[in-house]
Amino acid sequence: MEHTDIVDKIYRASVDVELWSSTLCAVVDYVGATAGNIVYQAPDGKSSFLIPGRMREDLNDLYLQYYAGNPYAKAFEKVHPDQVAIGNELIDDAAVRRTAYYADICAPQDIYNQLFVPHASLHERGGIGGVALFLSKAQDTESGLAARKLLQLTPHLSRSIELSLNVGGIRREANLLQPLLEALPDAAVLLDSQGEIVALNSAAEDILRHGDGLSINKHERTTLPRISSSSKALTRAIRQALEVAGGTAAQLQGAVQILRPSGLPPYFAQVTPLPPSSFVAWDSTDSGARALLQIVDMESRATGQAEQLRSIFSLTAAEAKVAVLVGCGYSVPETARILALSPNTVKTHTARLLSKTGVRSQAAFARLMASVPTRPDRP
């Protein structure tokens, strides 16, 4: 493989870590070695890893568990990052060949000598890490040539490994996004600069699916759909938050009330602008979140709290339904209308609620319910 082909392969691996093993095999062949790896041996051993290139898989765990502190590794600790070290020039190789490490790891893989290039980000964490290539006894006669070839590739390997580490960190942060949204107590929606959905949690999906005051166009769901709402105030709040996020406005609207056609308690929405990206070129793709829309569903929250009270005070199902609306501050006539019950029936259920919970008024019951945490209905 030509030098330019190897370099191209190295940089492809930087964004697709699954390619590193085959890339190492190509580097091994280009340099004139028998096998290789990218290795990090952490001081505590817990975060150590090894990416093999044409190595025996059954020996990799054995190496990390028992032989990470072998003579080669200790000698390589003193090598500066991006320099190529030839192992047998740094140690007593004859003595090493009489050790269990050589018998268990080196001999079965025809390893007679080692080349090592420390990587700064790995090497400077207190352990040792970088690219290691292994030479057979026959290949060792050209160890100097192999070291020079590896030195030519070292800048590219160093940059590519660093890119892999950074890309891995970015992807890990992206994978944390959904769990963080699900951990929020209320419905949450991340919006881009066009007001379209980047991500949302399950509670927000439930609200939008029911379409009771807030909805999305179902046929656009697989793309990034716009929130459609009868509330001009919400549209204005989203626009203002996006302008603040973009640096074109400074004023931010407060919470917005969203009436629900069902007659259930209204939603309360708050839009928070998010900081701009640190790299201006990322903004041109317009794929990042620019605002966080939080939707408080008092009825849903009250339902969760009523379920807790139902368990604590042995409320009936009918009493729990009344508790939801009483806890939201609805009067007896309003509760009767929403539940399609007679006012007398609602009064009876309310009286039993007060008796069972030991409070004397609807206002006191509402305060009691507000103090009860909701039990999450999703893992």
The beta strand positions in the chain, using DSSP E, are 35-41, 49-53, 85-86, 113-118, 128-135, 187-191, 197-200, 214-216, 227-229, 256-258, 267-273, 291-297
- Average pLDDT of the chain to the nearest whole number: 83
- pLDDT of 279 reads 42
225, pLDDT greater than 70? no
Q: pLDDT tens across 306-319, in order?
A: 777 788 888 888 88
pLDDT (mean) for 328-344 = 86
97, pLDDT greater than 70? yes
Q: Where do the H-state alpha helices sit in 201-360?
A: 202-210, 232-245, 280-285, 298-313, 317-327, 332-339, 343-357
Q: pLDDT tens across 174-217, in order?
A: 566 788 888 777 889 988 877 888 888 988 988 888 888 887 76
Q: pLDDT tens across 62-81, in order?
A: 998 899 889 999 999 889 98
In terms of pTM, does the model score above 0.85?
no
Q: pLDDT tens across 246-293, in order?
A: 777 777 777 888 888 888 778 888 888 887 654 443 344 445 668 889
238, pLDDT greater than 60? yes
- pLDDT of 124 reads 66
